[in-house]
Structure 1
Amino acid sequence: MNRALALTELGQSLWYDNIQRSLLKNGGLRAMVERGEIRGVTSNPTIFMNAITKSTDYDESMRAMLMYRDGPEEIFFHLAIEDIAAAADVFRPLYDSTQGGDGYVSLEVSPRLAADTAGTLAQARSLWKRVNRPNLMIKIPATREGLPAIRDAIADGINVNVTLIFGLERYNEVMDAYLSGLEKRAAAGQALDRVASVASFFISRIDSKIDPLLDGRAAGPDAARAKALRGRIAIANAKLAYAAFQALTASPRWRALAARGARVQRPLWASTGTKDKTYSDVLYVDALIGPDTVNTVPPATLSAFLDHGTPAATLTTGVADARAALAKLKALGIDLDAATAALEREGTQAFSDAFNTLLQAIAAKTP
């Protein structure tokens, strides 16, 4: 059974949450695409940190850059752009054959810019120009300061992968930023049909945050109710996000843009590797399958799904149960909004820390 193909037939694309120069050089990435296993690639500072610091794949390129006397951050972006451009070329036939429906490769702006709207937009424009591939997506975090940059990047015609979305309120703001960018672009007389975007909604980290809070009620009178919610909140949250997406795409505001050729901003399920080993290793894939969505998976999760995942339309089932689960969580005194706000802060900091570690490693390798 070709599970990846079955997902595609259900309207969901599997992307690969990983990049490594050796995969590009040895043909491994191309082989995965040709087998139909993946339809895009995402990267982030942590992925690049692991790729660069835990291998010698990049040492030759770094030594070659010494003559330019660039600092560690510029050296990093040189390296990243080489990988991202090469990966985009691997996916270009898929991008062309789907008329821009798939085949995207994502590169993130510096996490140091998460609170800098102008800096984020300037770097998004610079990276878009430097990579110079139509199937590039620039990743911009869904921080408060990131939202205007997302809007203006879309208005510029830059494909955007909005990252670090945890809560429903922020997700609604992200969808509004996308539509506002398209409206701004349309008002300027620019075409909408080749502007693409995904909204990366993080999944497993929510259960990693909420489950310990539920465990804290395991000894009290709410023990049974708390235990019943373990491992359910992340999926419930995502199902309600998808319901919000469906409501938006049924709205007159969206239909007016669609009539001008606009593409939907697909929800992308990120952080879908299972962190709690008592849960199924395909939990966050099997439970979130539906049309107009993407699931970006780390290597272990991809292997697990291709081996024993269950492709079935699950995203629109149990929505009432999802609402009930969040209501029960609230009744237990657990504030999901506060948890998702904390996750946004922690996620931003984690990427910033990884980026700093990466730059220190580059500095050590390029004295």
Structure 2
Amino acid sequence: MNRLQAVHALGQSLWLDYIRRDLLAGGGLRRLIEQDAITGLTSNPAIFEKAIGGSSDYDAALRALVESGVQEPAELFERLAIEDIRLAADEFRKVYDQTRAADGYVSLEVSPRLAHDADGTIAQARRLWQAVGRDNLMIKVPGTPAGVAAIRTLIGEGINVNVTLLFSREAYRAVAEAYIDGIEQWTQRGEGNRVASVASFFVSRIDAALDAEIERRIAAGEGDAARLRALLGKIAIANARLAYQDYKALYATPRWQKLAQQHRARPQRLLWASTGTKNPQYRDTLYVEELIGLDTVDTVPPATLDAFRDHGEARSLLEHALGDAQKVFDEIAALNLPFAASVERLVAEGVQLFVDADDKLLAAVAKKRDAIAA
């Protein structure tokens, strides 16, 4: 059993935060599934921008589409992405079947331009769900207020959803309530227990934002330097650990227990996102190691996956030192650190980063299309 398999044995699913045609066609994904117990995959506009714009892997497929008459960059990208997602979903189908639909999912994101448009999100999610045509697909929807409304409708229709860009416990709880509302709608349709969802709770970006504010205050002589310094690299993990306690409380309620017992409904698992370490002073496997816990998912970029396979420590630490996690937030309040404002800004920045990646992606596709036409 290698280190990645050991994480799986502790009850956490590891999903790959990466997609590219050569990984799918060359057998690389299959090896990760068989040798490292990788049980799912996530994608986003930034990942596709690097895959399509930064390689020649898609040139032949793109040429065939252009020569068949497809010209719009958005449609060209969607055709390429759908093919990748289908290939990945087919690779994970065995996992999906063996776990009785508990795992083995592949995620495709709605346009980031729809982050504040509930109706547009619902319409595109329905279309992508039909176009991909795989039971183990998850449609990624941002956890904005508009996204929350969309989640309720999509789950109620039996469409699997990966809710992304969650940074605060309040946002997570709103998403979890929307999921439970949707499950109640779904069970009223008498459709069984197939629908599934994860709530993607972001980690390292929180430390990057709050650490910068702490360092600024220390440098400016604002506040107690020792108390501020003690919070460096601690806030994101504390936030995630307390969110997991929220998860346990939500799914222990009589309302949920009725759904679970009468309809075999599955909880919406917490998924740790942004688990690659951004601060070079921190251990490169820090966020993976500290958040291993039962019935959770960690979506891991390739570099972090390789690092953990090499030297990660597989221990169940998600519920470790919960008192310390609460003390971190007591200190945030006492020191008047702008946690709420920071996570609100991170949501807006996260949406914009994906819009920017989408712009680059469509520009790269258009450039390749023009080269083919010439």
Fold similarity call, TM over 0.5: yes
RMSD: 1.0
Q: Deviation of residue 4 (structure 1)?
A: 1.8
Equivalent residue letter for 2:143: A
State the secondary structure of the residue aligned to 1:162.
strand
Deviation at 1:190, TM superposition (A): 2.7
* Aligned counterparts of 2:178 and 2:44: Cα–Cα separation in 1: 22
* d(CA) in 1 for partners of 2:64, 2:280: 43
Match of 1:45? 45
Which residue among 322, 327, 330 is the counterpart of 1:324?
327
CA distance in 2, matches of 1:15, 1:189: 30
In structure 2, the partner of 1:236 is 238
Structure 2: how far apart are the matches of 1:27 and 1:11? 26
Question: What is aligned with 1:216?
Answer: 216
Q: Contact 2:143/2:165 (CA < 8 Å) preserved in 1?
A: yes
Matched to 1:351, the amino acid is F
Give the CA deviation at 1:148: 1.0
Contact 2:71–2:369 (Cα < 8 Å) also in 1: no
Q: How far apart are 1:6 and its partner, in Å?
A: 1.4
Structure 1 counterpart SS, 2:134? coil
Question: What pairs with 1:1-367 in structure 2 (closer than 5 Å)?
Answer: 1-66=1-66, 67-191=68-192, 193-219=193-219, 220=221, 221-259=223-261, 260-367=263-370
Q: TM-score, normalised by structure 2?
A: 0.96
Question: How far 1:114 sits from its partner (Å)?
Answer: 0.7
State the identity %: 55
- Which residue type is aligned with residue 43 of structure 2? S
**Deviation (angstroms), 1:245:** 0.1
Check the 8 A contact 2:8/2:37 in 1, yes or no.
no
Q: Distance in 1 between matches of 2:103 and 2:191?
A: 22
Instruction: In structure 2, list runs of 5 or more residues that go unmatched.
Output: none
Deviation larger for 100-109 or 180-189: 180-189
The 8 Å contact of residues 109 and 139 in structure 2, kept in 1 or not, is answered as yes
| Separation in 2, partners of 1:20, 1:166 | 27
1:279-307 CA-partner distances (Å, limit 9, x unpaired)? 00000000001111000000110011111
With structure 1 as the length reference, what TM-score do the two structures score?
A: 0.98
Q: Are the equivalent residues in 1 in contact too, given 2:139–2:160 (CA < 8 A)?
A: yes
In 2, Cα distance between equivalents of 1:70 and 1:137: 27
Residues 37-61 of structure 1: per-residue CA shift (max 9 Å, x gap): 4111000000000001110011111
The superposition leaves residues 215-270 of structure 1 with CA deviations (integer Å, 9 ceiling, x where unpaired) of: 12214241111111000000000001101000001111110111111001100000
Q: Counterparts of 2:10 and 2:327 in 1: how far apart (Å)?
A: 26
| Separation in 2, partners of 1:356, 1:305 | 33
Structure 1 Cα separation of the partners of residues 108 and 7 of structure 2: 25
Distance in 2 of aligned mates of 1:52 and 1:327 = 45
How far, CA to CA, are the matches of 1:188 and 1:99 in structure 2?
21
Q: Is the 8 A contact 2:85 2:108 kept in 1?
A: yes
What per-residue deviation string (whole Å, max 9, x for no partner) do you get for residues 182-202 of structure 1? Answer: 0111223332x1111000000
How far off is 1:36 after superposition? 3.1
Find the aligned partners of 1:293 and 1:271 in 2 and give their Cα distance. Answer: 15
Structure 2: how far apart are the matches of 1:316 and 1:182? 27
- Partners of 2:81 and 2:358 lie apart in 1 by 12
Distance 2:9 2:287 in 1: 19
One-letter code aligned to 1:10 = L
Give the whole-Å Cα distance in 1 for the aligned partners of 2:104 and 2:28.
16
Distance in 1 between the 2:264 and 2:341 partners?
A: 38
For residues 185 and 234 of structure 2, the distance between their equivalents in structure 1, rounded to whole angstroms, comes to: 39
